[in-house]
């Protein structure tokens, strides 16, 4: 059972200083599928996402109780290095944030951090091509790999931000509203991409966009005020929500 | 009932307009008046000093206490002092700025350090000079030397390096840091690979400020390493040296029978050095700015 779970949170509580943002969150995210995390602003979706790769710690005033297991191992365990967690759990942000380097250097950035030695040209080229092919960007940028990544369109930038996670062979991809800075066409393109990555990676995606959650996820988690209210197959949640709050939110009565 | 009576201007509006015209003129005049000292200084220096400039003036050693001959040892000495100040101030200042901007938590100690830096920038240079005498000439036993004078200049200019660098580090978007951290980069990897390469313009600003001040200051060096006359080029950091700024002070006030054009020529050289350094750094900075796009 456990190996089919990408992320498993058990009675996770989280505080920003004295403000409690997550309450007793129990959540099992299955491996290899796309799980959408929905709920109104401030409900703890992003906080949960940021706990999975321990990036919340950077703030310095965050405390947690409970456990989050990624691939069966507690990421807050004593022997665990946050840096290794981040290598295996990639994060994509709301605003595409390519580094001010060339496209090629962006793709190789994470790999260089973790491989510890210089990447030779041929290996680097192979990694870059493989990653860019996976995000359906190769044909568009293969002739300008040494151009600045910040000169790409937003859609291309976001795809590049996904591509640069892939060379370190992550198992889980976390996406924090990855399409909310994009226009409808680009959104569709990135959604398509997420769908092609499904299966190879376990994807947890935070979204404000109900239509997107419905189109582009297998399972859906509805959160409210720092708690998980409902977790079910996407189809089920949108057709027959079990909880009244879920139904109200989905139908746009609040949030 | 409508009160509309056409779009023609009212007496009140006309009064407001004339007030605003008056204010504009007044402030323009003040701004132009402020230009006069700057322009006049340059013009006077060129008119009075240019006749004193010659190849011999730059390459020759001073004779008759500076009343004749050239300024070569002072020019060379200023280059030594400035380079020495840069060598200490730039790495130390950049390191401190990196710590304050990237590592330090926002607590009372950090705030106290920041206040201290601002205050240090306001300390008069003669006080730095006395500190330099105590700390470098005597306590560190550098003697009166280029080393002691450079260290004093470095201490004096550290605050501006720190502030300029810190501001340019903080101008690097947070999103870049987040991207790095989320890929598993340590703070240092993030700083080295992304933050520093994108804050070159601020570090250059620090460099400009150090150079301009180190070239121009007189007080901090006159007790710590610069001398009135020394017709030799420095051969090491423990030598004393002449310097342009002090030489200007001497030929203007301390030596009798100096031809009128000599002090002006020295001053013109001093300003020329500072302006040339600034221009070079500004050009470099514009090139760095042009490269970055976000």
| Residue A254 confidence (pLDDT) above 80 | no
Length of chain B, please? 294
pLDDT of residue A255: 62
Residue A139 lies in a domain: no
Yes or no, beta carbons of A100 and B178 under 8 Å apart: no
Per-residue pLDDT at A1: 42
Question: Do the domain assignments include residue A106?
Answer: no
Whether A132 maps to a domain, the answer reads no
Positive or negative, the CA dihedral B133, B137, B140, B141 is: negative
Of A87, A151, A165, the CB nearest to B293: A151
Amino acid B158: pLDDT: 92
Count Cα atoms within 13 angstroms, Cβ side, for B244.
Answer: 27
For chain B, the C-alpha Rg in angstroms (whole number) is: 25
**pLDDT tens digits, residue range A34-47?**
999 999 988 999 99
HSE-up of residue B33 (Cα within 13 Å, Cβ side): 6
CA within 13 Å, CB half, B122: 6
Averaged over B28-54, what is the pLDDT?
93
Q: Chain A residues with CB inside 8 Å of B194's CB? A: 99-101
From chain A, pick out residues whose CB is under 8 angstroms from the CB of B290: none
Residue A198 lies inside a defined structural domain of this protein: yes
Helices (H), chain B: 11-49, 55-59, 72-98, 108-122, 125-132, 146-170, 174-182, 187-190, 200-216, 219-222, 244-249, 261-291
Element (DSSP H or E) covering residue B62: strand B62-63
Give the domains, in start order, of chain B with CATH numbers: 71-289 (1.10.3720.10)
DSSP string, A12-48: EEEEETTEEEEEEEEEEEETTSEEEEE-STTSSHHHH
Contact B176 A95 (CB under 8 A): no
Which of A83, A114, A150 is nearest residue B294 as measured by Cβ atoms? A150
Say which residue, B65 or B148, is predicted with more confidence. Answer: B148
SS3 B184: coil
Contact between B108 and B281 (Cβ < 8 Å): no
Chain A residues touching B184 at Cβ < 8 A? 83-87, 110, 113-114, 168
The predicted-structure confidence for A170-225, as pLDDT tens digits, reads as follows 999 999 999 988 999 999 999 999 999 999 999 999 998 888 999 989 999 999 99
Which DSSP string do the residues of B214-253 spell out, in sequence order?
HHH--HHHHTTTB-S---S---STTS-B--HHHHHHIIII
Give the mutation candidate from A51, A62, A106, A109 for the B interface (greatest B CB count, under 10 A). Answer: A109
Interface A-B, measured as beta-carbon pairs within 8 A, has a size of 61
Task: Fill in the DSSP letter of residue A76.
Answer: T
Q: Note the pLDDT of residue B290.
A: 64
B184 reaches A (C-beta below 8 A): yes
In this structure, of A112-121, A192-201, B49-58, the range with the lowest mean pLDDT score is A112-121
Per-residue model confidence (pLDDT) at position A2: 47
Q: Is the dihedral of CA B20, B25, B26, B32 positive or negative?
A: positive
Interface residue A100 vs chain B (CB under 8 A): yes
Of A87, A97, A151, which is closest to B176 when you measure between CB atoms? A97
Q: Which domain holds residue A9?
A: 2-98+171-250
Buried b (16+ CB within 10 A) or exposed e, A73-89: eebbeeeeebbebbbbb
Mean pLDDT across chain A: 91
Would residue A133 count as lying in a domain?
no
**Average pLDDT rounded to a whole number, residues B236-251:** 92
Alpha helical stretches, state H, B99-122: 108-122
A186 falls within a domain: yes
Residue A253 has pLDDT above 80, yes or no: no
Radius of gyration of chain A (CA): 18
State yes or no: pLDDT of B293 exceeds 70. Answer: no
Number of structural domains in chain A: 1
End-to-end CA distance of chain B: 55
For the domain that residue A239 is a member of, what is the CATH number? 3.40.50.300
Nearest to A88 by CA among A179, A178, A6: A6
Burial call B23-48: b when 16+ CB within 10 Å, e when fewer: eeeeeeeeeeeeeeeeeeeeeebeeb
Task: Say if the Cβ atoms of A148 and B105 lie within 8 Å.
Answer: no
């Amino acid at each position: 059972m456990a190996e089919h779970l990408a992320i498993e949170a058990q009675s996770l509580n989280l505080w920003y200083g004295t403000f409690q943002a997550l309450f007793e969150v129990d959540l099992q995210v299955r491996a290899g599928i796309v799980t959408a995390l929905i709920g109104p602003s401030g409900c703890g979706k992003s906080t949960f996402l940021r706990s999975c790769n321990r990036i919340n710690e950077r703030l310095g005033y965050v405390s947690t109780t409970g456990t989050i297991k990624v691939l069966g191992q507690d990421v807050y365990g004593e022997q665990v290095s946050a840096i290794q967690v981040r290598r295996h759990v990639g994060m994509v942000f709301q605003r595409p944030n390519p580094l001010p380097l060339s496209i090629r250097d962006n793709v190789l950035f994470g790999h260089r951090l973790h491989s510890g030695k210089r990447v030779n040209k041929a290996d680097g080229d192979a990694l870059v091509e493989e990653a860019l092919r996976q995000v359906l960007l190769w044909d568009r940028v293969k002739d300008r790999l040494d151009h600045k990544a910040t000169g790409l369109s937003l859609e291309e930038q976001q795809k590049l931000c996904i591509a640069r996670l892939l060379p370190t062979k992550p198992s889980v991809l976390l996406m924090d509203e990855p399409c909310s800075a994009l226009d409808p066409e680009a959104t569709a393109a990135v959604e398509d991409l997420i769908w092609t990555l499904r299966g190879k990676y376990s994807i947890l995606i935070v979204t404000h966009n109900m239509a997107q959650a419905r189109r582009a996820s297998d399972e859906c988690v509805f959160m409210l005020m720092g708690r998980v209210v409902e977790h079910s197959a996407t189809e089920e949640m949108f057709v027959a929500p079990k909880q009244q709050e879920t139904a109200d939110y989905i139908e746009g009565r609040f949030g | 009932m409508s009160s509309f009576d056409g779009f023609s201007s009212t007496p009140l509006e006309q009064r407001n307009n004339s007030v605003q015209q008056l204010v504009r003129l007044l402030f323009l005049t003040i701004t132009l008046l402020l230009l006069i000292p700057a322009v006049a200084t340059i013009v006077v220096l060129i008119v009075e000093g240019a006749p004193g400039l010659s190849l011999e003036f730059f390459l020759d050693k001073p004779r008759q206490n500076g009343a004749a001959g050239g300024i070569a040892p002072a020019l060379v000495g200023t280059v030594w002092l400035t380079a020495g100040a840069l060598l200490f101030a730039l790495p130390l200042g950049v390191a401190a700025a990196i710590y304050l901007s990237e590592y330090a938590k926002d607590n009372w100690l950090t705030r106290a350090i920041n206040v201290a830096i601002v205050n240090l920038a306001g300390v008069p240079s003669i006080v730095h000079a006395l500190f330099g005498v105590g700390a470098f000439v005597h306590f560190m036993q550098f003697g009166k030397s280029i080393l002691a004078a450079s260290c004093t200049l470095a201490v004096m200019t550290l605050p501006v390096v720190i502030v300029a660098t810190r501001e340019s580090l903080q101008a690097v978007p947070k999103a870049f840091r987040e991207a790095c951290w989320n890929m598993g980069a340590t703070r240092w990897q993030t700083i080295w690979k992304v933050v520093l390469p994108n804050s070159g313009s601020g570090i250059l600003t620090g460099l400009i400020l150090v150079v301009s001040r180190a070239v121009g200051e007189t007080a901090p060096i006159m007790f710590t390493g610069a001398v009135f006359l020394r017709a030799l080029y420095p051969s090491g950091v423990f030598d004393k040296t002449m310097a342009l700024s002090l030489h200007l002070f001497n030929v203007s006030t301390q030596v009798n029978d100096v031809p009128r054009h000599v002090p002006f020529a020295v001053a013109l050289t001093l300003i020329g050095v500072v302006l040339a350094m600034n221009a070079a750094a500004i050009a470099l900075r514009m090139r760095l700015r042009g490269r970055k796009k976000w």
